[in-house]
Structure 1
Amino acid sequence: MDTRYLRHARRHARGAVQPSAIAIIAVVAVLAAASWFLIIKPHQDLVDQEAGAHPSTPVTAAKAAAAAPVNVAAMSMNQLLSEARRAVNEQRLLAPAGNNAFEFYLKVLEKQPGNQVATDALRETFPVGASLAEQAINQRDFNDAQRQIDLLAKADPANYTLTILRSKLDAQRKLQDREQQLASDKEKQAQLAAQKAADKVEADRQAAEAQQKALAEQQRAAQQRVAQQQAEASRQAQPPAATQAASNESAAGGTHGAVLVRNVSPRYPTTAVRANQEGWVEVSFTITPEGNVDDVKVVDAEPRHVFDRAAVEAVSRWKYQPATQDGSPVASQDKRRIVFKLN
């Protein structure tokens, strides 16, 4: 075979292979680029979002809040945006005061009005911030709720959600005021009721003491009157001159009737003293030859059954000089009216 033909064929083959290799390389590059944009980059974005890299996507697990920057006013734009993203990732949208995403983004807008990153972040996180402010209202942390609403108003003053939040905050404050007023009124009513009860107890005690004192005075007065009556009866019971004459006559062997020598005053019943009752009892009885009183019977009384027992007991203790007949003691009958009088 002609060697010149072989060399020509080889050169022609090398020239044909070179364009196909270029085409293969181009296809591989296109596939790699497509893989980057269609597979790798979306996956990386998803990973970043799950890690909280996007400012509008808070992390699901709360992280410990970082310490607030020392000098926020001196921070650069990048530092403020970095702190804001960090606050979003740590779920510090509106709190704590001075160290939250809204304040950092608002500070960015102060330095650079119209900053698109801060504007977009505030717009995207506004609904979540409104929800947090509502939670603060429901928890009745009214001061912090007002602060959060003010931050939201700086981000979007015309948002109608602010009107709803302010109305709810005002309603909850009024409700709390009413509840506190009701609790205060209830406490005052309880104190007033307790005071009235204490006053009533004291009044009852004083009335009981006054009643006991009055009863004691009444009993003392009754006892004094009874003592006076007993003294008077004792004086009346002293044997008069006629008694002495009868005694002399008896000694001489004469006849005479029984003579009272000792009078025992009746005891005034306590129930009658308390009821301020007066009355009398008429009794009949027998005087024995020894001068004792026997067989005492109630003939009449006014009122009935009030002074009977006291009269019978008193008369039963009387002593007589017995009646005599021909100088000898004999039994005799007598009848007396016992008067019960308080004055």
Structure 2
Amino acid sequence: MDTRYILETRRHARGAVRPVAIAVIVVIALLAVGAWFLIIKPHQELMMADSGGHPSTPVSTATRAAPPPANVAAMDVNQLLAEARTAMNEQRYLAPTGNNAFEFYLRAMEKDPGNKVASDALRETFPFAATSAEQAINSRDFNEAQRQIDLLAKADPTNFTLTILRSKLDAQRKTLDKQQQLAADQQKAQELATQKAAADKVAQVKLVEQQQAQLAEQERQAKARAAQQASQPAAPPPVASDDTASADSGSAGGQSSTAVLLKASPARYPTAAMRARQEGWVLVSFTVDADGRTADIKVLESQPRRVFDRSAEDAVGRYRFTPAMKNGVAVSTTKQQRIEFKL
């Protein structure tokens, strides 16, 4: 047989097999799709309807707040299963307490431990109920979340989902504790800051009052000094010394007289003594020159010592006299003066 003919025949045969294989694959795919829509999906929808629908469907507040049926303890297994199916349809998997699917199924299992309907429903509904417990954890309703986890544990104590839920609940509790502690610390810090601000304000007010009192005292002292200087009496006439008196009394010739004070200058009260409220006196000796000016001023005695000496010397240095006369000629004379310092 010709080799070229054989090769040509095989090539045509392979070309015919490929369309057949594709057609078979398409038919299988169509059958799978049809089985999904006609068999599998209706069965799943039926199971979902029996177990209460998809967990993502929101549950109304009115449904969760529905009161439990009367005399639940007296219900038989069929009645409990009927109540459980109603709760499943309303998505009351774990709440409210005493009126949820899990509690009804568990009561049915207590009365009929081998009840397959209740055991299958608990197993198939467990993921949806776990989602409900997780929502309670996320909403930080920790007591309710703990109750639901305990209820799940009664249905399937070895389910690993319980470990995850307990970990989440513990983590949320710790997070809440930290937040509450942080809020408490912030509140305490704010209270301390408020107290400090109040204390600082009181201290500032006291400081201002002290400063005002000091200024008032300084002003009062300044007025007192001014009044004291204005009212300082003129120095009394100097007392002539014995030598001068002898000279005056012994003069027999021309006109003779003692030195006469023309201008007295009040002594300035020392600031330190005024602040200390000190008083005293100074006995000063000085010479009246022939031109009526004072010279050779000396402190003979003072009380207290050295407090008023300089003020007394300065005051005497500003005195002006009519010089003493002897036989019609101006002469110098020595005098003493006691100067009082009183407040």
Shorter-chain TM-score range = 0.5 to 0.7
Asked whether the 8 Å contact 1:258–1:324 carries over to 2, the reply is yes
Give, in whole Å, the separation in 2 of the partners of 1:258 and 1:274. Answer: 37
Aligned equivalents of 1:341, 1:103: Cα separation in 2: 110
What displacement does 1:79 show?
10
Structure 1 unmatched ranges of 5 or more: 1-31, 45-53, 56-75, 239-249
Partners in 2 of 1:279 and 1:196 — Cα distance?
A: 47
Q: Render the CA deviation track for 1:147-201: whole Å, top value 9, x for unaligned.
A: 6567657766777878998888778767655554454344223322221221122
Asked if 1:202 corresponds to 2:200, the answer is: no
Separation (CA, whole Å) in 1 of partners of 2:60 and 2:154: 21
Q: Map 1:137-286; keep pairs closer than 5 Å.
A: 142-143=140-141, 180-228=183-231, 230-231=232-233, 233=234, 236=236, 253-286=254-287
After superposition, the Cα gap between the structure-2 partners of 1:97 and 1:153, relative to the gap in structure 1 and judged at 3 Å, is farther
Unaligned runs of 5+ in 2: 1-24, 37-43, 63-87, 94-99, 106-116, 239-250
Aligned to 2:326: 325
Equivalent position of 1:311 in the other structure: 312
- Preserved CA contact (<8 Å) 1:323 1:330: yes
Distance 1:96 1:152 in 2: 21
CA distance in 2, matches of 1:197, 1:103: 67
The answer to whether the 8 A contact 1:282-1:338 is kept is yes
Note the C-alpha offset of 1:206: 1.0
CA contact (8 A) 1:287 1:333 kept: yes
Distance 1:118 1:97, change over 3 A: farther
Displacement after TM superposition at 1:270 (Å): 1.9
Q: CA RMSD in A?
A: 5.1
Q: Tell me the CA shift for residue 321 of structure 1.
A: 1.0
Residues 127 and 142 of structure 1, relative CA distance in 2, 3 Å threshold: closer
Q: What amino acid sits opposite 1:280 in the alignment?
A: W
d(CA) in 2 for partners of 1:80 and 1:125? Answer: 9
Q: Is the 8 A contact 1:219 1:273 kept in 2?
A: no
Q: Secondary structure at the match of 1:142?
A: coil
Residue identity opposite 1:212 in structure 2: L
Q: Are the counterparts in 2 of residues 149 and 165 from structure 1 also a CA contact under 8 Å? A: no
Letter in 2 for 1:142: R
Residue 289 of structure 1: SS of its match in structure 2? coil
Q: Percent identity?
A: 25
The amino acid of 1:277's aligned partner reads Q
Question: In 1, Cα distance between the equivalents of 2:89 and 2:179?
Answer: 29
Task: Give the deviation of 1:263 after TM superposition.
Answer: 1.0
**What TM-score comes out, normalization by structure 2 length?**
0.54
Aligned to 2:11: none
User: How many residues align structurally?
Assistant: 254
d(CA) in 2 for partners of 1:118 and 1:79? 9
| Residue identity opposite 1:216 in structure 2 | E
TM-score (norm 1): 0.54
